[in-house]
Amino acid sequence: MIIPFLVIGIIIACTILISAYRMIFGPGTFNRIAAANVIGTKAIVLLIIVGYIIERPHFVDIALMYAVLSFVGTIIFAKYLERGELCSP
């Protein structure tokens, strides 16, 4: 049963390409950050699906790690854009 995972993986890759359009041409900074957030969260699911395609589902560990890093990156970027500085005294 590899075919359904293959189809879902191709669909997620196409949606990542479509989001990359919004990240490159999107007007303003916030559209680009939103598209980068979308791409980062789709990459988690794509990692899990690739792990099932090559029959090595232990890729889930990497996916969990990447989820934490992506979330922290998005939060830090939003905080920096809101306040103009990272560390406020």
Partner 1 sequence: MLTVDIVAIGLMAVGAFVMLTGMLNIMKFRDFYIGIAGITFIIGVILAVALGRRGIVDTLAVLFLAAGAFFIITGVIGLLKFPDFYTRLHATGKCDTVGQIFIVVGCMIYSGLSLISVKLFFVAAFYLLAYPSATHAIMKAAYATGLKPWKKGDPRM
User: What is the distance of C-alpha 62 from the center of its chain?
Assistant: 13
Selection from 71, 38, 45 nearest residue 60 by Cα:
45
List the x/- string, 58-77, binding to partner 1 by CB under 8 A: x-xx-xx--xx--x--xx--
Q: 13 to 52, contacts with partner 1 by CB under 8 A? A: 15, 18-19, 21-22, 27-28, 30-31, 33-35, 37-38, 41-42, 44-45, 48-49, 52
Residue from 13, 54, 69, 79 in contact with partner 1 (CB under 8 A): 79
User: What is the distance of C-alpha 7 from the center of its chain?
Assistant: 19
Measured from the CB atom, is 26 or 89 closer to partner 1?
26
Phi, psi torsion values for 88, nearest 5 degrees = -100, 130
CB distance 39 to 23 below 8 Å: yes
Q: Minimum Å distance from CB 42 to partner 1?
A: 7
Q: Is 81 in the site for partner 1 (CB under 8 A)?
A: yes
